[in-house]
């Protein structure tokens, strides 16, 4: 165990997840993944860029902090547009989240605690492009229902017009999806 309380396996898991966030996954997934169908209010490319920036920053913070420590967690590495809702895209996404009646607006300092590895029941798997938007795939180790409110918030404020609630999908379907770097056929 390291000085920060993490194991080498824990750091490897974060490293694997970060690699999948930043680029299309080429790993073999578990048999079943959860998928969110997202209709972005901006281009799919901009949406994915914003979402990857936000989730990767959160995973890096989670990798580097001790959530059991009472000190305040530094949020500087989260995108500014997320921390202060400083642009039209995040403001519109926040409004769309409220319209969807998914709960209250999340404070970034509270939101980041949902990335505590001891609490988070999902890991990022991939994002793929579809004719009507994008699909965000998460690995829940086969669990059909996991807490995911923090992810819904991230999906909306990254620029979603609409997010369908997740459903379980066989990993074989993900294999046939179009990765964002290739674009739709």
Q: List, in sequence order, the alpha helices (H) in the chain.
A: 8-22, 44-64, 80-84, 88-99, 108-111, 149-157, 171-175
91-134 pLDDT, tens digit each: 999 999 999 999 999 999 999 999 999 999 999 999 999 999 99
8 pLDDT more than 70? no
Q: How many domains does the chain have?
A: 1
Asked if 14 contacts 56 with a C-beta cutoff of 8 angstroms, the reply is: no
For residue 89, give every residue at least 6 positions away whose Cβ sits within 8 Å of its Cβ, in sequence order, or none.
41, 42, 46, 50, 81, 158, 159
pLDDT of residue 17: 85
117 part of a folded domain: yes
Whether 33 is in a domain gets the answer yes
Q: Does the residue 184 lie in any domain?
A: no
- Determine the structural domain holding residue 114 and report its residue range: 8-65+73-179
Torsion over CA: 132, 136, 137, 138 (sign): negative
Higher-confidence position of 7 and 98: 98
Query: Is pLDDT of 13 > 60?
Result: no
Q: What is the mean pLDDT of the chain?
A: 86
Taking the C-alpha atoms of residue 119 and residue 147, their distance in angstroms, rounded to an integer, is: 9
Q: Please give the Cα distance from 48 to 159 (Å, whole number).
A: 9
Residue 126 lies in a domain: yes
pLDDT of residue 30: 72
């Amino acid at each position: 165990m390291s000085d920060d309380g993490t194991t080498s396996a824990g750091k490897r898991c974060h490293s694997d997840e970060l690699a999948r966030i930043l680029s299309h996954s080429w790993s073999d997934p578990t048999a079943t993944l959860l998928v969110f169908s997202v209709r972005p209010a901006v281009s799919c490319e901009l949406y994915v860029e914003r979402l990857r920036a936000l989730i990767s920053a959160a995973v890096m913070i989670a990798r580097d902090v001790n959530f059991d420590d009472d000190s305040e967690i530094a949020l500087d590495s989260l995108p500014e547009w997320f921390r202060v809702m400083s642009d039209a895209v995040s403001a519109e996404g926040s409004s769309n989240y409220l319209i969807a009646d998914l709960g209250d607006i999340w404070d970034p300092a509270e939101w980041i605690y949902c990335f505590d590895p001891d609490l988070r029941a999902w890991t990022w798997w991939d994002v793929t492009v579809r004719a009507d938007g994008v699909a965000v795939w998460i690995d829940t180790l086969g669990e059909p229902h996991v807490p995911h409110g923090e992810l819904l918030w991230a999906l909306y404020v990254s620029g979603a017009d609409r997010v369908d609630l997740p459903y379980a999908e066989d990993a074989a379907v993900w294999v046939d999806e179009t990765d964002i770097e290739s674009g739709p056929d």
